[in-house]
Amino acid sequence: MEVIQELSKRERQVMDAVYQLGQATVAEVLERIPDPPSYSAVRATMRVLVDKGHLKHKQDGPRYLYVPTVPQDKAKTAAVSHLVGTFFNGSMEAAVMTLLQMSDAKLSKSDVERLRAKIRDAEKEGR
């Protein structure tokens, strides 16, 4: 599921806004994207995303509400997979090390314990 590669920068911004809101109107997306184009340009982008199968819409009175067709957890997995493949040569270890070395990466003791537990679970499952 390589949805990320199929999207332009503006399409990704629109999808990010819709995922953040869960469902969104054109006006709500317009408020959330950086350096927004016109209302009609956002509406056209959302129509393209419907045509590509990334969004669907439903009537809500006089307006459309747009919702993603791919659940957010699957989209996250696809995005991280793309990121690891593109920037870390497929190395999950390198990606995790980079995240941990970021200057603003502040993990609480409970964060570290949850990570340790996830690593133990992955080891038990052979991942």
The 3-class secondary structure across 40-71, one letter per residue, is HHHHHHHHHHHHHCCEEEEEECCEEEEEECCC
- The pTM for the full model equals 0.69
CA atoms 103, 105, 108, 112: torsion sign: negative
Q: Rounded to whole angstroms, how far apart are CA atoms 40 and 105?
A: 39
> Which pLDDT belongs to residue 78?
82
pLDDT tens digit sequence for 32-75: 999 999 999 999 999 999 999 999 999 989 999 999 998 888 88
Query: Is residue 19 classed exposed, middle or buried when 0-12, 13-18 and 19+ CB atoms within 10 A define those classes?
Result: middle
Domain extent, residue 57, equals 4-68
Domain presence at residue 80: no
Domain count, the chain: 2
pLDDT tens digit sequence for 88-123: 999 988 998 898 888 677 888 898 899 899 899 989
Domain final position from 40, 68, 96: 68
- Select from 38, 47, 39 the least CA-distant residue to 11: 47
Q: Rounded to whole angstroms, how far apart are CA atoms 70 and 2?
A: 12
Domain presence at residue 104: yes
> Which pLDDT belongs to residue 3?
47
Q: How many CB atoms lie within 10 A of CB 67?
A: 14
Question: Do 59 and 114 belong to one domain?
Answer: no
Amino acid identity for residue 104 in this structure: D
For the cut 60, the answer to whether the pLDDT of residue 1 exceeds it is: no
Question: Do 61 and 29 belong to one domain?
Answer: yes
> Which pLDDT belongs to residue 59?
92
Q: Rounded to whole angstroms, how far apart are CA atoms 6 and 14?
A: 13
